[in-house]
Amino acid sequence: MTTLAVHADQPVEGLPLVLLHAFPLDSRMWEPVVELLPGIPVVRIDAPGFGDTPPRGEPGLEAYARDVVVAIRELGADQAVVAGLSMGGYVAMAIAEATPGVLAGIGLLSTKAAADAEPARAKRYEMAADVERGKTDVALPMLDGLLGQTSRQSRPDLVDSVREQLRTAPAAGIAWAQRSMAARPDRLAGLSASPEGLPALVLRGAEDTLMSDDDAAAMADALGVEVVEIAAAGHLVALEDPESVAGALAALYRECAT
């Protein structure tokens, strides 16, 4: 039985669309998108230590990925369309590598297949250590990187909302996630080995400074698709342009469900 908190706003019948959230937010980040997906059985999952999922001591995205597969099967589904944004995308790729048969389709948003370079890995471990030493507001400096320039200049309501979510991000979740992401391997070969014809979506915000054009292109090439780029949006594209993200996810779901 999974310990993950699984949220569904409508009955889950048939093929579910499973959404995995970014760090250091929780599954509520998907709510603006879910509202635009009527008729699709959407499931949102909280990562360990975030939202309603209890913390986990041992880090590792692979264990989280296995629990997502368990959650899918507990819904009574043999397969699901799994889409993740940023950290959620890392988990979707871990599923693709370890349990490809559970995927009816995969969505990779604002993410990358490459492992962290050593400086980025060191910064993750440093943040994990800082939060465990009791340092507060460690996630607040992430704000400018998470939102695109257009959103920061024209969406004060969104800026304030994301700032508050960063300020209140749970310490246990931050430490677990940063150590888990620091240890993740390169998954490009795993994507390239995905079943031929697997429906896939690779999407990024044009103003994303955390995940590059090259990151997106490498994943898209491995999956045999074109990158979907959303103008005037940054890393948290699902919050910055939920309409475009919902449209892209709906198209992916229709491809999988036919």
Distance, CA of 227 to CA of 223 (rounded, Å): 10
- Residue 258 is predicted with a pLDDT of 83
- Residue 36 is predicted with a pLDDT of 98
- The pLDDT tens digits for 54-104 are 999 899 999 999 999 999 999 999 999 999 999 999 999 999 999 999 999
- Residue 2 is predicted with a pLDDT of 83
Query: What homologous superfamily is domain 6-257 in, according to CATH?
Result: Alpha/Beta hydrolase fold, catalytic domain (3.40.50.1820)
| Beta carbons within 10 angstroms of residue 113's beta carbon | 26
- Residue 49 is predicted with a pLDDT of 98
- The pTM of this model reads 0.98
- Residue 132 is predicted with a pLDDT of 94
> Which residues of the chain have a pLDDT value below 50?
none
- Residue 57 is predicted with a pLDDT of 84
Q: Can you give the residue ranges of every domain in the chain?
A: 6-257
- Residue 10 is predicted with a pLDDT of 79
